[in-house]
C-alpha cells in the first residue's frame, strides 16, 4: 500500500493540485486510489449539504468512489483555522473519527493520498494539532512548497520540525502558485540546495486544471 500525507509551507500553496497529480498517476498505473481530506474549512452550502472544493477535487480524481462524508468527515463553512470554527459550532474534531474513516479507506484502496489543512502545525483544538494525528498514524510525508516571497524560510522551518518527529519524508515539490518571480530560478536552486530531501518536481503556474496531466511534472521514482 502507498499512503502519503500531503502538507504545505502554508495554506493555499497547492496541496490539492499536487494531490491530484498523485491520484492521476495512481489511476494511470492501475492502483485503487482514494484522496482523503480529513478536515476542511471554507466550504460552500449546496443542496447536498456543505461541500469543500478541495475535497470534491480529490473525490473526482479518485478511482474508488465513496460518499462525500467518507472522504471529508470534518467540513466547516467558515474559512478559518479548524480549532476556531470547530469550537464555535461545538463540533470537536476527534482523532478516533478520522482514524476510523482512514481504516475504512484502507480496506478499499492501495494508494491513499491524505491532504492536510493549512500548514504542518495547524491546530485542531486548544491542545492538539493536525500533525499530532499524522505522527500517531505514522504516515510518510510529502512537503509542498508554494513558490512566493518567504517560502524559503517557511520550507526550512517546516522541514526541520517534521524531521524531529522521525516520520519518513518522501520529498518536496515546488508549486508555482503565482506567475514566476524575477528570481524564480534562484528560489528553486536555493531550496534544492537547502532542503536535504528528494526533489519530486515543479508544477508550473496554471490558470485552469481541466484535462491537464499534472502527473507529468512529478518524479515518481522516489515514491
Q: Among all chains, which residue has been given the C-alpha cell 480549532?
A: 83
- Alpha-carbon distance of 105 to 120, in angstroms, equals 23
SS (H, E, C) 66-104: CCHHHHCCEECCCCCCHHHHHHHCCCCCCHHHHHHHHHH
Q: Is the pLDDT confidence value at 25 over 90?
A: yes
Task: Provide the domain limits for residue 106.
Answer: 2-222
Q: State pTM to two decimals.
A: 0.96
- Selecting among 37, 59, 101, 148, the annotated active-site residue is 37
Tell how far CA 215 is from the center of its chain: 15
The number of domains in the chain is 1
Active site residue 90: no
- CATH code, domain with 114: 3.40.50.300
The mean pLDDT of 38-60, rounded to a whole number, is 96
List the one residue out of 39, 165, 33 whose CA is nearest residue 97.
39
For the stretch 98-113, pLDDT in tens is: 999 999 999 999 999 9
Amino acid at each position: 500500500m502507498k499512503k502519503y500525507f500531503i502538507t504545505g509551507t502554508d495554506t493555499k500553496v497547492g496541496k490539492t493540485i499536487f494531490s491530484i497529480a498523485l491520484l492521476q498517476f495512481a489511476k494511470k498505473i492501475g492502483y485503487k486510489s482514494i484522496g482523503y481530506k480529513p478536515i476542511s474549512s471554507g466550504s460552500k452550502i449546496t443542496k447536498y449539504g456543505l461541500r469543500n472544493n478541495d475535497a470534491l477535487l480529490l473525490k473526482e480524481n479518485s478511482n474508488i468512489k465513496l460518499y462525500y462524508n467518507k472522504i471529508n468527515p470534518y467540513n466547516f463553512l467558515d474559512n478559518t483555522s479548524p480549532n476556531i470554527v470547530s469550537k464555535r459550532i461545538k463540533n470537536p474534531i476527534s482523532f478516533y473519527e478520522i482514524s476510523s474513516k482512514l481504516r475504512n479507506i484502507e480496506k478499499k484502496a492501495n494508494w491513499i493520498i491524505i491532504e492536510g489543512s493549512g500548514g504542518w502545525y495547524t491546530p485542531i483544538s486548544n491542545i492538539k494539532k493536525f500533525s499530532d494525528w499524522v505522527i500517531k498514524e505514522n504516515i510518510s510525508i510529502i512537503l509542498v512548497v508554494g513558490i512566493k516571497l518567504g517560502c524559503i524560510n517557511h520550507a526550512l522551518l517546516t522541514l526541520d520540525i517534521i524531521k524531529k518527529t522521525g516520520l519518513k519524508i518522501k520529498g518536496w515539490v515546488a508549486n508555482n502558485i503565482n506567475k514566476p518571480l524575477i528570481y524564480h530560478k534562484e528560489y528553486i536552486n536555493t531550496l534544492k540546495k537547502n532542503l536535504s530531501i528528494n526533489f519530486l518536481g515543479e508544477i508550473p503556474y496554471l490558470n485552469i486544471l481541466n484535462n491537464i496531466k499534472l502527473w507529468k511534472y512529478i518524479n515518481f521514482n522516489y515514491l
